[in-house]
Amino acid sequence: MITRLIIGVLAGAVLGGIVGYVGKCSGGACPLTCHPVGGMLTGAAIGLLIMLAVQPRGGGATANFVPSKNVIEIQSTAQFDEIVKQKPVVLADLYADWCGPCQRLKPAIHQLADEYAGRATVVGVNVDVLKELAARYGVSSIPDVRIFRGGKPSQQLIGLRDKQEYAAALDAALK
C-alpha cells in the first residue's frame, strides 16, 4: 500500500509540474498552472488523494486468496444445525461481504480449514443471508468466530485477530 501511495504522489507531482511549466497562468491565481513547483505540490496532493480513494478491493493479504474446498458455506440454519450436531469440533466464521475485517480474515480461516482438515470442520456463515442464525447467537459485531464442541458453543472470538489465536482456540477444543 505504501508503494502505491508513493507512486501516486510521484506521478501527481510529475504531471502537476508539467502542467505548471506549460500552463503558466498569467494572473498567478491558479496554484496548479502558475508555477512548476506549485503544480508539483498540487499534483502530489491530488495523486495521494486519488490513490487513497481507489484502494483495490481485497488488497493485501486477500490479493492472492484461493478459497479452500474444506470450508462449507452454510446455506440454511438447518444445514448449520446439522453440521454442528454431527461434527465434534466446528469453527464457524460469521461474516458479511461488506465487512472489511471479515474479508481480511477470510484467507486465515481458509488456511485453518486446510490445516485442520479431518480434525475440525470449518463453516462460513453470511450473517446478512442467515439473519435468523445471527440473531440466535446474538451476533452484534463481526467478524465473529465461534467454536462449537459437541454441538454446543465453547468459545467466541470477536473482531479481527491473528491466525494463531484461532488455531489456539481450535487446539483447545480438540483436546
Q: Catalytic: which of 25, 30, 34, 102?
A: 102
Asked if residues 91 and 105 have their Cβ atoms less than 8 Å apart, the reply is no
Whether residue 34 lies in the annotated active site: no
Asked, as a colleague might, if the bond just before 143 is cis with ω within 30 of 0, I would say: yes
Cβ pair 102, 142 in contact under 8 A: yes
Question: Which among 66, 94, 69, 101 is positioned nearest to 80, based on CA atoms?
Answer: 94
Q: How far apart are CA 39 and CA 31, in angstroms?
A: 6
Beta bridge partners of 155: 147
How is residue 54 written as a grid cell? 481507489
Q: Is 99 marked active-site?
A: yes
Residues acting as catalytic residues: 99, 102
